[in-house]
Chains A and B, each alone.
Chain A
Amino acid sequence: EPEVTQTPSHQVTQMGQEVILRCVPISNHLYFYWYRQILGQKVEFLVSFYNNEISEKSEIFDDQFSVERPDGSNFTLKIRSTKLEDSAMYFCASSLGDGNTEAFFGQGTRLTVV
């Protein structure tokens, strides 16, 4: 069964460093998303991406964050100059689009900023 895959599963980085989280969405899906979940808190929407551009972003998704689809399969989230409060689980998701709006999630990347 097709699935969303994320790498790495766990990333530890020093405060101030840049990190790139990687995702491979389901191959025929057209919409891609990043969410984050701080430990013990709700799943928070960061950004959606469609047709090679950002479709919607939340108030959390400031200039520190960027997304890219560098090739036909990968979808990345870059966090510049990480802060301690960026420590969270980051989930990538994708949906087929075109009336099929159900989003399927990857297993997540746990980011720890020290």
Chain B
Amino acid sequence: QKEVEQNSGPLSVPEGAIASLNCTYSDRGSQSFFWYRQYSGKSPELIMFIYSNGDKEDGRFTAQLNKASQYVSLLIRDSQPSDSATYLCAVSNYNNNDMRFGAGTRLTVKP
């Protein structure tokens, strides 16, 4: 069974702070790692992807991957109230034919 685990939260941070979201996965063969944002009642929206160990930065977002620890994280700098959403970690194999999601972490950014 390919498991993707996330702390369900809720995670609450003040506006302007750094939000840190974590994810672990069970399948050592996983090759592709994604972070999606999902607003209530909407579809998942891709915000970051990472394939190699280390950090990847895109604007206020940084994804971090450690394959040895089977751990992937997302940092959101200068958090804004509009960042309030559920963040979904997704993991896929090399062929990307079975991307699996974690249950998501609900983030609230308070003004």
- Interface positions, chain B 20-62, Cβ under 8 Å from A, are 32, 34, 36, 38, 42-46, 49
- A96 nearest in chain B by CB position: B96
A42-B103 contact given A102-B34, A103-B46, A105-B45, CB 8 Å threshold: yes
Is A95 touching B101 in the complex (CB atoms < 8 A)? no
Is B46 touching A42 in the complex (CB atoms < 8 A)? no
Q: How far is the CB of B64 from chain A (nearest CB, A)?
A: 18
Does any Cβ of B come within 8 Å of A75's Cβ?
no
Interface size class of A (residues with CB under 8 A): 20 to 34
Is B34 touching A105 in the complex (CB atoms < 8 A)? no
User: B residues within 8 A CB of A106?
Assistant: 43
Tell me what chain A mostly uses at the interface: helix, strand, loop, or mixed.
strand
Interface segment out of the listed A12-20, A43-51, A63-71? A43-51
Does any Cβ of A come within 8 Å of B92's Cβ?
yes
A43-B88 contact given A102-B34, A104-B46, CB 8 Å threshold: yes
User: Which residues of B are in contact with A by a Cβ distance under 8 Å?
Assistant: 32, 34, 36, 38, 42-46, 49, 88, 92, 95-104
